[in-house]
Amino acid sequence: AARPPRRRQHKKSNELPHPNKLPGIFDDVHATEGRQVCRRHELYVSFQDLGWLDWVIAPQGYSAYYCEGECAFPLDSCMNATNHAILQSLVHLMKPEAVPKACCAPTKLSATSVLYYDSNNNVILKKHRNMVVKSCGCH
Amino acid sequence: GSVLRRRLHSAGVPQRRLSGGERRDVQREILAVLGLPGRPRPRAPSRAPAAAAPLFMLDLYHAVAGEEEEEGEEAAVSRPVLTGLSTQSPPPGSVVSRADTVVSLVNMVEQDRDLFSPKPYWKELRFDLTQVPAGEAVTAAEFRIYKNRAAPGYANSSLQISIYEVEAQNSNRESDLLLLDVQDLRAGTEGWLVFDVTAASNHWSGDQKRSLGLRLYVETDDGHSVDPGSAGLLGRRGPRSKQPFMVTFSRASPSPGRVTR
């Protein structure tokens, strides 16, 4: 079962004034209380459940993962945000109806290999690129 | 074998039941992502991994999968360490590069010119190449054949085994042959022999070449032709775990445009 989302503590940062403290502009900003930040989640693709183990030799399935979560200001360093995503989330604060938040999406994908029989009983090892999410980020 | 990852059951989230048609569409989509036109249906009971090729390929899979797990996308398939299941040596030299597809070919027709025929004796194996991916560049190809101890008559001699590609068969004269690889070994040698037949793959692209004839000649030091069977070379009549096969390594073109559907 998925772990209950951890409650986010506010980071105490002395150097930069907290956005909420800036007069006027960001008054109505609420930290993303209770909402999950952009991160990687478990997703297992099972060849067994698909009933394919009569021709797939290995693996029986693989962890593909997926990305989900908020890309809300301020974008923490762990959210792999592009510069553009940071700017977009700032503009979203000012014009939420006009400009959406940045998207939580894979920033690094890796390959997975499948070993299987073809219909002539040849054995084939095929590498499939971009099948596994290694990390997520805001784009 | 492979580690079974914890499967996530989203408790409380209603799981939509797919209709029959939707289930077929889902499977077709996943097969398309895997680059397969349809669901393979192997002939023989596919759960009998005692044949030589599957054992070798399973070893190669574990080496490659281990690399992918650790290093991620750019993992160079360095020379995999083949351990355990198959006692076969890894692909020769630095052959294993960053292959996208490795195909082991097991369908072949065997023909022998043996002791009951005029010399020189040979063994010829014609492989079906239709499973070699047409859209990929073959980076290496090997032929693997098992050798038992030679017949007693050759006990202490050295043998030279040459492998040729049968380029063209002629009705009234000897076939046109291209030398691919040569190995010198003791008659008493036992185990898998690996021949580099990459040179034969130059004209496999497209639909030109759908089968490949490989012909083996065996000679003693002083040039006497030896029947390959007497030299201990096993063909298709050998045990399943020692039957010959080919392995091709190919790489996709740099950016194969995904076909929009």
Q: What percent of chain B has pLDDT over 70?
A: 75
How confident is residue B114, by pLDDT bands cut at 50, 70 and 90? confident
CB contact (8 A) between residue A134 and residue B72 = yes
User: Is the per-residue pLDDT at B42 higher than 80?
Assistant: yes
**What would the pLDDT profile of B171-214 be if each residue is shown by its tens digit?**
777 788 999 999 999 999 999 999 999 998 877 765 566 788 99
Of A45, A115, A119, the CB nearest to B58: A115
A50 touches B at CB < 8 Å: yes
Collapsed DSSP state (helix, strand, coil) of residue B90: coil
Residues of A in contact with B44 (CB under 8 A): 121
- The answer to whether residues A136 and A104 touch, using CB atoms and an 8 Å cutoff, is yes
- The answer to whether residues B98 and B85 touch, using CB atoms and an 8 Å cutoff, is no
A130 touches B at CB < 8 Å: yes
Question: Which tokens belong to A76?
Answer: 């923490």
Per-residue buried b or exposed e for B71-86, using 16+ beta carbons within 10 Å of the residue's own CB? eeeebebeebebeeeb
Q: What is the mean pLDDT of chain B?
A: 79
Residue B243 per-residue DSSP state: -
B89/A18 Cα distance (integer angstroms): 63
The alpha carbon of residue A46 is apart from the nearest alpha carbon of chain B, in Å, by 9
User: Is the per-residue pLDDT at B166 higher than 60?
Assistant: yes
Question: What is residue A62's predicted lDDT score, i.e. its pLDDT?
Answer: 92
A87 touches B at CB < 8 Å: no
User: Is the per-residue pLDDT at B217 higher than 90?
Assistant: yes
**B79, HSE (Cβ side, Cα atoms, 13 Å):** 7
The helix (run of H) or strand (run of E) holding residue B26 is helix B20-33
User: Is the per-residue pLDDT at B38 higher than 70?
Assistant: yes
Question: What is residue A6's predicted lDDT score, i.e. its pLDDT?
Answer: 45
Tell me the ipTM for this assembly. 0.79
How confident is residue B13, by pLDDT bands cut at 50, 70 and 90? low
The alpha carbon of residue B113 is apart from the nearest alpha carbon of chain A, in Å, by 27
**What would the pLDDT profile of B44-67 be if each residue is shown by its tens digit?**
654 554 688 888 999 999 888 877
User: Is the per-residue pLDDT at B226 higher than 90?
Assistant: yes
Q: What is the mean pLDDT of residues B159-171?
A: 89
For chain A (139 residues), the mean pLDDT of every run of 10, in chain order, is 41 37 33 72 92 92 93 77 88 93 93 91 91 92
A134 touches B at CB < 8 Å: yes
The alpha carbon of residue A86 is apart from the nearest alpha carbon of chain B, in Å, by 27
CB contact (8 A) between residue A58 and residue B65 = yes
> Which residues, in sequence order, are CB contacts of B118 under 8 Å at separation 6+?
none
User: Is the per-residue pLDDT at B124 higher than 90?
Assistant: yes
> Which residues, in sequence order, are CB contacts of B70 under 8 Å at separation 6+?
none
Residues of B in contact with A113 (CB under 8 A): 61, 64-65, 68
Beta-sheet pairing, B108-113 with A39-41: unpaired
Per-residue buried b or exposed e for B240-250, using 16+ beta carbons within 10 Å of the residue's own CB? bebbbbbbbbb
Mutate to test the interface with B, among A60, A127, A129, A131 (most CBs of B within 10 A): A127
CB contact (8 A) between residue A117 and residue B100 = no
Question: Which tokens belong to A98?
Answer: 């006009």
Q: What's the CA angle centered on B49, arms B216 and B231, to 5 degrees?
A: 25
Question: What is residue B162's predicted lDDT score, i.e. its pLDDT?
Answer: 96
How confident is residue B12, by pLDDT bands cut at 50, 70 and 90? low
Residue type, B81: V
CB contact (8 A) between residue A114 and residue B34 = yes
